[in-house]
Structure formats: C-alpha cells, structure tokens
C-alpha cells in the first residue's frame, strides 16, 4: 500500500512537471533524479505516453490541453510522438468511417528539453560513461585551476610568537633553513586580546625595508597561517607585522632565513 502511494505521488509530480506546474526547486530536484535514476526515467516515459494518448484522444480538459500545448509539446520528440499517435488514430477512425483531428502546434523545443530528450534516449552504458568522463574532467580542472602551492617539496614549518619590540636580536630571532623546501609555512600566534578580531592583515618586511602583504591561508582561534613560496624569499632577516580590524597590533614577529 505504501509503495503504491509513493508511485502515485511520483507519477503526479512527473505529470505536473511535464505540464509546467512544478516550482523551480521541485523541477531541479526532479531533473537531477532523471539524470541518475533509470527506474524514474522509465516512469517518466510512461507518463509521457499517457499524456500523449489522452491528448490525441481528446480526453483532457481545456486547461490541461492548453498546458500540453504550452509545455509538453515544446519537445520536438513529443510533437513527433503525438503526430504518430494521431496518424494511427486517424487511420483507425477512417476504417470506422469517423473523422477525428488533433492539431499539434509546431513549436521549437527549448534547450533543456532537447538536452533532456537526448540524454534520456541514450543507452545506460553511454550515460554511465558520460557521467564518469564528466567527473574526470571536473577533477582535472580543479588541479589545473587550483595548482598545488607545493609542487617541488614540503614547506618548512615555523611557529612564531609576537615580540614586544620592533626589532629582535640574538635568540629571539627564529632561524629558518629552506634547503630543498618549497617555501615557509608560518603559524603566527595571536595575542590574546586580539583573538576575537573580525579581520586581519599580515605585512612582511625584508632587510631592504620592502613591504608586501602575505595572504592568510588558515585561521584558528589562536593563530593565523601564512605561506611564502621559496622563489619569493631570499636569505636575510624578516619582520612580520599584524593588523587587526584595521589597527596595527603593537609588536612584531621575526625570523631569519639562512
């Protein structure tokens, strides 16, 4: 009994979809299922045949008939199906000496109608292969559009605490060795009073006092993470300044590339 109710509800949704009576969100849900559920596609074809027979047999009310002509028959495939069914009915009627006529509007199908008709008419293996190819292409595009920042090695990890003075000397300066690393990954510990800030900016200064902003790649309640590729850094001392909610945070971070 439960299965029957579900099937009837599904058929009702398919009929409303074909007659342009579903909302946009429900249409998207139904179209997605048509691309992934073979059994649902078969049910879709059954409902198409039912509407075709009812239209050709003049079994629809005025409102549904109008909707068939406005929505259902936007598909060229369905126009042909109705024309074929009408021809069969006309032949049967001629044999009985009765003249019936069904006018099928010659309306060009929309893009999505053509796409759906093409897709649903393809064999299962073609749909499966197409879906897998689409996934492979999508994954490939991710690697092309978002290349790894770390192609030739690993980043040297550095954890820095903020110093209360602008320049540090001796053991307070963190030594960093790049060797074959792809760059430096720096975790900046946030001062406790600035951990609730809504926005941050990180500024890097080298020994020649050249300044540039560093993109923040990660953020936690206690720290910010920035990365510097190896080709963007040379030997020497560096200072990192922090800005929180547009204000300069007193103090700085220091490290030295050896």
Secondary structure in 3-state letters for 168-226: CCHHHCEEECCCCCCEEEEEEECCHHHCCCCCEEEEEECCCCCEEEECEEEECCCEEEE
Does residue 152 have a pLDDT over 60? Answer: no
Give me the pLDDT at residue 149, please.
Answer: 45
Number of compact structural domains in the chain: 2
Distance of CA 42 to the CA centre of its chain: 28
Both tokens of residue 181?
A: 């690393």
By residue range, what is the domain housing residue 20?
A: 2-145
Query: 191 vs 2, which has greater pLDDT?
Result: 191
Helix (H) / strand (E) containing 126:
helix 124-145
Helix, strand and coil content of the chain, in percent to the nearest 5, comes to: 50, 20, 30
Q: Are 194 and 202 in contact (CB under 8 A)?
A: no
Q: Are 217 and 225 in contact (CB under 8 A)?
A: yes
Cα-Cα end-to-end distance for the chain: 77
Distances (CA, A) of 126 to 129, 131, 184, 226: 5, 9, 47, 46
Query: 52 vs 139, which has greater pLDDT?
Result: 52
Is 150 inside any structural domain?
Answer: no
Instruction: Say yes or no: 39 and 140 in one domain.
Output: yes
Instruction: Say yes or no: 127 and 190 in one domain.
Output: no
Instruction: Say yes or no: 7 and 129 in one domain.
Output: yes
Instruction: Say yes or no: 56 and 16 in one domain.
Output: yes
Is 49 inside any structural domain?
Answer: yes
Q: Name the domain boundary from 120, 145, 170.
A: 145
d(CA 146, CA 140): 10
**CATH code assigned at 209:** 2.60.40.10
Instruction: Say yes or no: 112 and 237 in one domain.
Output: no
Give me the pLDDT at residue 23, please.
Answer: 85
Q: What is the mean pLDDT of the chain?
A: 77
Q: Are 227 and 184 in contact (CB under 8 A)?
A: yes
Q: What is the pLDDT of residues 21-44, one digit of tens each?
A: 888 778 877 877 776 778 888 888
Instruction: Say yes or no: 124 and 32 in one domain.
Output: yes
d(CA 87, CA 104): 11
Does residue 200 have a pLDDT over 90? Answer: yes
Give me the pLDDT at residue 8, please.
Answer: 79
d(CA 19, CA 26): 13
Q: What is the pLDDT of residues 249-258, one digit of tens each?
A: 887 888 888 8
pTM equals: 0.41
């Amino acid at each position: 009994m439960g299965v029957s109710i579900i099937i009837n509800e599904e058929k009702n949704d398919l009929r409303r979809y074909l007659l342009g009576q579903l909302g946009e969100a429900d249409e998207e849900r139904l179209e997605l299922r048509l691309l992934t559920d073979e059994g649902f596609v078969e049910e879709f074809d059954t409902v198409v045949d039912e509407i075709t027979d009812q239209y050709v047999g003049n079994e629809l009310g005025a409102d549904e008939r109008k909707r068939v002509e406005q929505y259902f028959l936007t598909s060229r495939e369905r126009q042909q199906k109705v024309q074929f069914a009408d021809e069969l009915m006309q032949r049967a009627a001629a044999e009985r000496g009765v003249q019936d006529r069904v006018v099928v509007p010659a309306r060009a199908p929309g893009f999505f109608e053509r796409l759906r008709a093409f897709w649903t008419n393809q064999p299962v293996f073609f749909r499966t292969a197409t879906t897998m190819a689409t996934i492979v292409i999508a994954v490939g595009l991710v690697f092309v559009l978002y290349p790894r920042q770390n192609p030739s090695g690993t980043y040297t990890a550095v954890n820095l605490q903020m110093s209360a003075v602008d320049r540090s000397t001796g053991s307070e300066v963190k030594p960093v060795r790049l060797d074959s690393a792809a760059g430096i990954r720096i975790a900046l510990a946030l001062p406790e009073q600035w951990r609730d800030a809504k926005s941050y900016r990180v500024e890097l200064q080298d020994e020649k006092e050249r300044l540039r902003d560093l993109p923040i790649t990660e953020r936690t309640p206690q720290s910010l993470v920035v990365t510097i590729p190896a080709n963007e850094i040379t030997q020497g001392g560096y200072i990192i300044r922090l800005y929180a909610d547009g204000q300069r945070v007193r103090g700085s971070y220091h490290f030295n590339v050896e």
